[in-house]
Amino acid sequence: MSHEYQRRGRNWFTAIGLLFCIMATIVLIQQLLIWGPEFVEDFLFNGEITNEKVSTTMLAFGIFMIALGFRKYEQKR
């Protein structure tokens, strides 16, 4: 394998980010199926801390971690 081959996106940042995104998506779909879109929207925009807000935060954190995993950095030789 060439020393110039870069394993972009194959590190623990992308793995954890993908895990967070998958878990948040599963929870949001589950809440949509149980409560329906109207209640989920109400839960998302009310003043309390709800499961939907935590899932949205998890999704944002997962996307941030994936972006962090795809960043370009120079390795010291």
pLDDT tens string for the chain (77 positions)? 555 556 555 688 999 999 999 999 999 999 999 999 999 899 889 999 999 999 999 999 999 999 998 886 666 66
pLDDT at 71: 81
Return the pLDDT at 48: 93
Q: Are 72 and 20 in contact (CB under 8 A)?
A: no
Q: Is 70 helix (H, G, I), strand (E, B) or coil?
A: coil
Distance CA 18, CA 77 (A): 30
Would you say 9 and 69 are in contact if contact means Cβ atoms under 8 Å apart?
yes
